[in-house]
C-alpha cells in the first residue's frame, strides 16, 4: 500500500515515503498526502525540524508512471497534475516554516529528486543515485519544478542533468551542488543535524528560512501562456510513446512530433 508515514519524536517529525515494490514511486494520493502532511507540520509550533526520507533503502523513484495513462493522458490533465497536485506538495515542503532535511538512500530520481530539492538540507549515502531522465519519457520538466533545480545547480549543470538524462552517484551530485553532505548513514546524520538545529532558537531558524527565501533572486512569474507552453510536450506523440515504451519495457522510438 502506497502511503506517507509520519512519526513524531519530541520536536522532530520524520516523514517517510512508502510504496513497496516500486522504490517509493509517488502516486497521486501520495502527492496529495505530502501536501496535507507538510502543511499540518508547518503549523505545529511544537516542532523544530522535519526529516524527509524513503522506506526500505530508497528515497523515491519519481512519479508513479503506471498512473500516467489515466491521470496525465492529455495536456489539460498534465497541467492539473503539475500545477495542482505536484506543485501543492512541493510548495508545502519548500514553504514549511521548520527546517527540513532530506535523508537520501538508494534511488532519488525524477520527482524524488524534486522532493529533495524542496528541502533545506540534503544528506545522502555514497551509494545513492540521482538524475531526472524524463527525456526518455518524451516530456520536459515542468517550469515550476525546473526553478528549484536551476537555483541549486545553475544553468550548465541543469542542462547537463536534463539533456543527458544520466543517472549519477552521490559524489557527483555533491559536486553539482545538489547535496551538502555524503555520509555512510544519512538518516543518522540527518538526526544529528536535526538535533543541532533543535538546540537553536526556533524563531531564529524560521526567520532565517523566511529571509533567505526573500533575498534569493527570483524570476518574474511565468505567464499562463508560458506555463502552458512549458508543459506542451505532454500533448506530443513522443510523450505517449515514452510512457508506452516504459510500461512495455522496450526502448522508445521518438519521432519529434
244 in any annotated domain: no
The neighbour count for residue 88, using CB atoms within 10 Å, is 17
Residue 217 lies in a domain: no
For the ranges 120-129, 142-151, 170-179, the lowest mean pLDDT is seen at 142-151
For residue 205, tell me if it sits in a domain: no
In a domain, 53, yes or no: yes
Give yes or no for a contact between 166 and 131, defined as CB atoms under 8 angstroms apart. Answer: yes
Task: Check: CB of residue 120 under 8 Å from CB of residue 209.
Answer: yes
Assigned domain for 222 exists = no
The β-bridge partners of 130 are 108, 168
Predicted confidence band at 1 (pLDDT cuts at 50, 70, 90)?
Answer: confident
- Counting the structural domains of the chain, the total is 1
Tell me whether residue 16 is in a domain: yes
Can you give the pLDDT at residue 134?
Answer: 94
53 in helix, strand or coil? strand
* 221: confidence class by pLDDT, cuts 50, 70, 90: confident
What CATH number is associated with residue 175? 3.90.226.10
> How many other C-beta atoms are found inside a 10 Å radius of the C-beta of residue 222?
14
How many alpha carbons lie under 13 Å from residue 87 in its C-beta half-sphere?
A: 15
Structural domain for 37, as ranges: 3-185
Is residue 57 very low, low, confident or very high in pLDDT (cuts 50, 70, 90)? very high
Count the neighbouring beta carbons within 10 Å of the beta carbon of residue 71. 16
Which residues, including other chains, have CB under 8 Å from residue 72's CB and lie 6 or more apart? Answer: 78, 81, 234
Whole-angstrom Cα distance, residue 5 to residue 53?
A: 10
Q: What pTM was computed for the model?
A: 0.95
Cα(243)–Cα(99) distance, rounded to whole angstroms?
A: 36
Q: pLDDT grade, residue 217 (50/70/90)?
A: confident
Does 92 reside within a domain?
A: yes
The verdict on residue 194 lying in a domain is no
219 pLDDT exceeds 90?
A: no
In 74-204 the beta strands, taken as DSSP E runs, fall at 100-104, 107-109, 121-124, 129-131, 168-169, 181-182
Amino acid at each position: 500500500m502506497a502511503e506517507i508515514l509520519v512519526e513524531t519524536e519530541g520536536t522532530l517529525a520524520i516523514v517517510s515515503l512508502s510504496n513497496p515494490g516500486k522504490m517509493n514511486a509517488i502516486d497521486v494520493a501520495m502527492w496529495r498526502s505530502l501536501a496535507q502532511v507538510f502543511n499540518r507540520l508547518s503549523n505545529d509550533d511544537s516542532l523544530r525540524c522535519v526529516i524527509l526520507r524513503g522506506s526500505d533503502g530508497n528515497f523515491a523513484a519519481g512519479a508513479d508512471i503506471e498512473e500516467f495513462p489515466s491521470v496525465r493522458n492529455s495536456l489539460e490533465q498534465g497541467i492539473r497534475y503539475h500545477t495542482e497536485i505536484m506543485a501543492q506538495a512541493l510548495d508545502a515542503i519548500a514553504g514549511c516554516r521548520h527546517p527540513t532535511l532530506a535523508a537520501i538512500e538508494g534511488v532519488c530520481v525524477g520527482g524524488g529528486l524534486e522532493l529533495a530539492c524542496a528541502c533545506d538540507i540534503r544528506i545522502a549515502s555514497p551509494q545513492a543515485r540521482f538524475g531526472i531522465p524524463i527525456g526518455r519519457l518524451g516530456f520536459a520538466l515542468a517550469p515550476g519544478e525546473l526553478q528549484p533545480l536551476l537555483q541549486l545547480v545553475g544553468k550548465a549543470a541543469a542542462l547537463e542533468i536534463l539533456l543527458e538524462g544520466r543517472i549519477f552517484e552521490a559524489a557527483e551530485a555533491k559536486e553539482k551542488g545538489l547535496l551538502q553532505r555524503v555520509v555512510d548513514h544519512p538518516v543518522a546524520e540527518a538526526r544529528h543535524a536535526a538535533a543541532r538545529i533543535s538546540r537553536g532558537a526556533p524563531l531564529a531558524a524560521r526567520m532565517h528560512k523566511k529571509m533567505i527565501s526573500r533575498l534569493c533572486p527570483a524570476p518574474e512569474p511565468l505567464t499562463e501562456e508560458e506555463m502552458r507552453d512549458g508543459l506542451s510536450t505532454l500533448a506530443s506523440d513522443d510523450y505517449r510513446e515514452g510512457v508506452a515504451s516504459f510500461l512495455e519495457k522496450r526502448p522508445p522510438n521518438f519521432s519529434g512530433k
